[in-house]
């Protein structure tokens, strides 16, 4: 089947399936299982739907086949026992819930509506929770588990992959470079973003300037790398940097091959992309500063620099931190720039690009590198969750 | 407002100049590649794009035609014009031009100035005038094959669509473009619906564990994609999806959900409580409230997430490399450029620039037409 037709079909099935799922599941809940006008939940349909079908699915689709395989010697006994235990536990809770939701006695008329409303949030949440669990939560565990095995995935080697990684110099270079990226890119992007946000604040053509500086946000990392490959080219007739050097009579250099400093040339590409993001958010924050505080400072005789550093920056500190952490997280994900510009040569590997050298070749190593990235992200993650909790209170 | 914050005219000039410099720094690299994508490929490597409107000195060579050989006073002479060579007709259509320098060796094509007479290694004497007419003189006959004449000539600036033509026709970029669209559109549409329902539940429904779920979404927002690659690819393989378009749609849906739920929930929480409560009093179910009230009111947030997801899936390299097969039939543009063109045509800047702009065109159009929504979405996601 042609991919385009397949795509259209997927949209139709996906969207139709979503709408259908939400519509019919709500209808069944309100009309069939907990009919609002009745004084009793519909036990004959409710029990099989809530308890019977999921249990049957678990037995037929998960525990049953594993037990049969284990009996035939094709699967390990432990996994079969584990599957049976999980199935039994889930079935027990489902039954408990079903018996609570569908009592034999009559209940007051409002009770059915209340019960339906208690179930409904989970109907709304189910597809999202399923997808999040499968595509983001499970991989954290799955990757860690896989990283404890060797290349073939058959032999458990504990932290062997991690030991090998830390023993290798290329991995240490990648970690060191990555730490530099994490320090430099968010700092420079936030600095330039703040600078542009402040400078364009009262400029007549400020919006056009902001729009142009924001533009690299739309450009892919690959496209941006290509654009800068052109700028960095060692040929003075192509690269504007070497053209300038040529103009002053200096010999051409290849910026991406200068040891150590080449990392900074690569970092600047990401700074170039992310400055627009920082600028947009910081610019909105600057606009949100109460005018009175600035006026009071001016009346007290503060010069523009004092106004900026002593009045404005402290008031938007919270936003600056949010921008900083957001860019930090991004830095730990981007492998495209290093991959396109140098392929990790000349000592420019960072962890995400280093991981890709093992992808498809040694899954154990690849997942170990990925988990190291996860550990680096962890502090930011915890901080984010705490911030979010604080806001909700 | 212009007079506050102590704006002095001197400072204002400095501010203006600084912003101009910054904007130029941010814009020039893109303009450079854009201009280059329209330039003739020989011209790209012989003069910088900033000199694009000017004529370029390019090197050419032609072979003196021995049919024109004459014997004059005991020596053999060939006279002719370097621009008359039919092989150079595409460059000099009217067979005229201006020679800047000439030479007799490929390594030094411009070692002699025009109008002078130079002795070639074969012993022959060569004179080339500025208008291209040359005179070769030697003591012996030149034989069947005349000597090669190298020269530098000014060529007028040439702007062409040839790079785009090559990229789209011969290099399979058209196929990659379709593939990118095929990946992007379902991967943008599907997560929106799923996320909208979940965001509504998290914003407006009361149930135990709501705070925990929101915290989980915030936490998943920063889980590095790299972790998901290996376990999910093996999961896809084991359930028969393998590396395919279906697989990448599912992957993008999963990866896009945390941001979608987070953005939409932040927006929906801010909707006026009165509307929702009065609808409930009037007997509307949650499903009706969601479809009739929340969805239409949340349009700006839906649009901004759609733009994010669109740009992200369109520009993505990592997920496409892992979840799509590597053959040409399913390559998206980023993979095509990074793996194919940069590898095999690393030096061909015309092709690379053309390919880059084919892949940048759609995001840039989306960006400039929908910037409003994009900014709003960014602010909803970050500013507290």
Q: What is the pLDDT of residues A187-227, one digit of tens each?
A: 999 999 999 999 988 888 888 898 899 999 889 999 999 99
Nearest CA to A4 out of B185, B358, B255, B314 is that of B185
Domain ranges of chain A: 3-122, 162-392
> What's the ipTM?
0.84
Cα separation, A154 vs A144, in Å, equals 15
Sorted by sequence, the CB contacts under 8 Å of residue B104 that are 6+ apart come out as: B111, B118, B120, B121, B126, B147, B148, B149, B150
Min Cα–Cα distance to chain A from B115, Å: 28
Residue B346 clears pLDDT 70, i.e. is over it: no
Cα separation, A333 vs B316, in Å, equals 12
Cα separation, A142 vs B229, in Å, equals 10
Evaluate the CA torsion angle B3, B9, B14, B16 in order and state its sign.
positive
Contact residues, A window 6-35, toward B, CB-based 8 Å cutoff = 6-7, 10-11, 14-15, 18-19, 22-23, 26, 30
Cα separation, A227 vs B364, in Å, equals 14
Nearest residue of B to residue A270 by CA position?
B26
Query: Quick one: pLDDT at residue A267?
Result: 93
Give the pLDDT mean for B309-329: 89
Cα separation, B105 vs B150, in Å, equals 7
Residue B1 clears pLDDT 50, i.e. is over it: no
Least confident of A144-148, A337-341, A381-385, B169-173: B169-173
Residue A143 clears pLDDT 60, i.e. is over it: yes
Q: Where do we find the tokens 């049976």?
A: A84
Query: Quick one: pLDDT at residue B193?
Result: 86
Element (H, E) at B364: helix B349-369
Nearest CA to B288 out of B299, B276, B272 is that of B276
Cα separation, A179 vs A373, in Å, equals 11
Give the pLDDT mean for B266-289: 86
A125–B201 C-beta distance less than 8 A: yes
Cα separation, A164 vs A347, in Å, equals 19
Give the pLDDT mean for B304-320: 91
Q: Model confidence at B384, in pLDDT bands (50, 70, 90)?
A: very low
Query: Quick one: pLDDT at residue B255?
Result: 92
Mean pLDDT across chain A: 86
Sorted by sequence, the CB contacts under 8 Å of residue A152 that are 6+ apart come out as: none
Q: Which residue has the higher pLDDT, A358 or A32?
A: A358
Nearest residue of B to residue A311 by CA position?
B5
Query: Quick one: pLDDT at residue A370?
Result: 92
Query: Which positions in chain A touch B202 (Cβ < 8 Å)?
Result: 125
Cα separation, B366 vs B262, in Å, equals 23
Q: Model confidence at B375, in pLDDT bands (50, 70, 90)?
A: confident
Q: Read off the tokens for B91.
A: 């460059």
Contact residues, A window 331-390, toward B, CB-based 8 Å cutoff = 332-333, 335-336, 339-340, 352, 355-356, 359, 363, 366-367, 369-371, 373-374, 377, 380-381, 384-385, 387-389
Domain ranges of chain B: 9-52, 56-155, 164-382
Query: Quick one: pLDDT at residue B9?
Result: 63
Give the pLDDT mean for B149-164: 79
- For chain B, helix (H) and strand (E) counts, in that order, are 16, 9
Q: Read off the tokens for A128.
A: 């999202």
- Do residues B132 and B96 lie in contact, with contact meaning Cβ atoms separated by under 8 Å? yes
Residue A270 clears pLDDT 90, i.e. is over it: yes
Least confident of B55-59, B322-326, B330-334: B55-59
Cα separation, B124 vs B134, in Å, equals 13
Query: Quick one: pLDDT at residue A1?
Result: 63
Judge: domain A162-392, CATH 3.10.20.30: no
B195–A128 C-beta distance less than 8 A: yes
Q: Model confidence at B3, in pLDDT bands (50, 70, 90)?
A: very low
Judge: domain B164-382, CATH 1.10.3720.10: yes
């Amino acid at each position: 089947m042609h991919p385009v037709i397949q795509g259209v079909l997927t949209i139709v099935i996906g969207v139709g399936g979503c709408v259908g799922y939400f519509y019919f599941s709500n209808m069944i809940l309100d009309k069939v299982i907990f009919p609002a006008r009745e004084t009793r939940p519909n036990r004959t349909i409710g029990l099989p739907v809530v308890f019977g079908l999921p249990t049957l699915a678990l037995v037929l689709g998960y525990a049953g086949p594993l037990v049969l395989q284990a009996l035939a010697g094709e699967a390990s006994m432990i996994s079969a026992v584990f599957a049976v235990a999980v199935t039994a536990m889930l079935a027990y809770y489902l039954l408990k819930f079903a018996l609570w939701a569908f009592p034999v006695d009559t209940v007051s008329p409002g009770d059915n509506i209340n019960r339906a409303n208690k179930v409904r949030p989970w109907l709304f949440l189910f597809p999202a929770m399923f997808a999040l669990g499968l595509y983001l939560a499970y991989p954290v565990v799955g990757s860690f588990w896989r990283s404890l095995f060797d290349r073939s995935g058959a032999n458990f080697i504990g932290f062997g992959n991690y030991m090998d990684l830390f023993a290798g110099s290329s991995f240490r270079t990648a970690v060191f470079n990555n730490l530099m990226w994490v320090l430099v890119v968010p700092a420079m992007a936030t600095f330039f973003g703040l600078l542009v946000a402040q400078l364009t604040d009262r400029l007549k053509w400020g919006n056009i300037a902001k729009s142009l500086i924001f533009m690299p946000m739309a450009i892919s990392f690959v496209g941006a790398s290509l654009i800068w490959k052109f700028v960095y080219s060692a040929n003075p007739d192509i690269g504007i940097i070497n053209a300038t050097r040529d103009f002053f009579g200096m010999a051409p250099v290849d910026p991406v091959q200068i040891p150590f400093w080449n990392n900074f040339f690569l970092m600047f590409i990401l700074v170039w992309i992310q400055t627009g993001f920082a600028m947009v958010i910081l610019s909105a924050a600057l606009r949100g500063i109460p005018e009175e505080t600035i006026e009071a400072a001016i009346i007290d005789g503060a010069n523009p620099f004092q106004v900026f550093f002593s009045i404005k920056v402290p008031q938007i500190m919270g936003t600056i931190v949010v921008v900083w952490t957001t860019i930090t997280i991004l830095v730990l994900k981007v492998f495209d720039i290093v991959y396109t510009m140098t392929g990790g040569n000349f000592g420019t590997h960072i962890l995400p690009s280093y991981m890709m050298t093992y992808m498809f070749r040694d899954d154990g190593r690849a997942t170990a590198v990925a988990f190291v990235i996860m550990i680096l992200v962890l502090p930011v993650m915890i901080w984010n969750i705490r911030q979010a909790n604080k806001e909700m209170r | 407002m212009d007079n506050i914050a102590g704006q002095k005219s001197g400072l204002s000039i400095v501010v203006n100049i600084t912003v101009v410099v910054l904007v130029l720094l941010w814009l020039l690299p893109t303009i450079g590649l854009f201009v280059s994508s329209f330039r003739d490929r020989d011209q790209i490597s012989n003069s910088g794009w900033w000199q694009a409107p000017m004529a370029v000195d390019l090197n050419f060579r032609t072979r003196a035609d021995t049919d024109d050989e004459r014997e004059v006073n005991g020596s053999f002479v060939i006279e002719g014009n370097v621009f008359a060579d039919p092989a150079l007709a595409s460059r000099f259509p009217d067979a005229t031009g201006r020679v800047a320098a000439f030479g007799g060796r490929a390594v030094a094509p411009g070692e002699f100035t025009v109008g002078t007479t130079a002795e070639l290694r074969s012993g022959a004497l060569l004179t080339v005038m500025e208008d291209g007419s040359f005179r070769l003189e030697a003591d012996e006959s030149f034989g069947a094959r005349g000597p090669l004449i190298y020269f530098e000539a000014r060529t007028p600036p040439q702007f062409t669509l040839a790079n785009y033509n090559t990229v789209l026709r011969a290099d399979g970029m058209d196929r990659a473009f379709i593939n990118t669209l095929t990946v992007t559109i379902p991967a943008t549409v599907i997560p929106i619906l799923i996320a909208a329902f979940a965001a509504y539940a998290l914003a407006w429904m009361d149930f135990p564990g709501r705070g925990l779920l929101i915290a989980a979404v915030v936490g998943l927002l920063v889980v590095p994609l790299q972790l998901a690659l290996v376990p999910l690819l093996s999961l896809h393989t084991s359930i028969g999806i393998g590396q395919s378009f279906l697989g990448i749609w599912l992957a993008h849906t999963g990866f896009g959900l945390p941001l979608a739920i987070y953005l939409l929930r932040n927006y929906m929480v801010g909707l006026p409580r009165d509307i929702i409560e009065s609808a409930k009093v009037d007997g509307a179910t949650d499903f009706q409230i969601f479809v009739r009230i929340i969805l239409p009111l949340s349009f700006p947030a839906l649009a901004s997430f759609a733009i994010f997801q669109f740009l992200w899936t369109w520009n993505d390299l990592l997920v496409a490399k892992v979840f799509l097969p590597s053959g040409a039939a399913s390559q998206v543009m980023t993979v095509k450029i990074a793996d194919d063109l940069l590898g095999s045509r690393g030096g061909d800047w015309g092709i690379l620039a053309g390919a880059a702009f084919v892949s940048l065109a759609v995001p840039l159009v989306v960006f400039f037409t929908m910037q409003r929504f994009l900014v709003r979405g960014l602010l909803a996601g970050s500013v507290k």
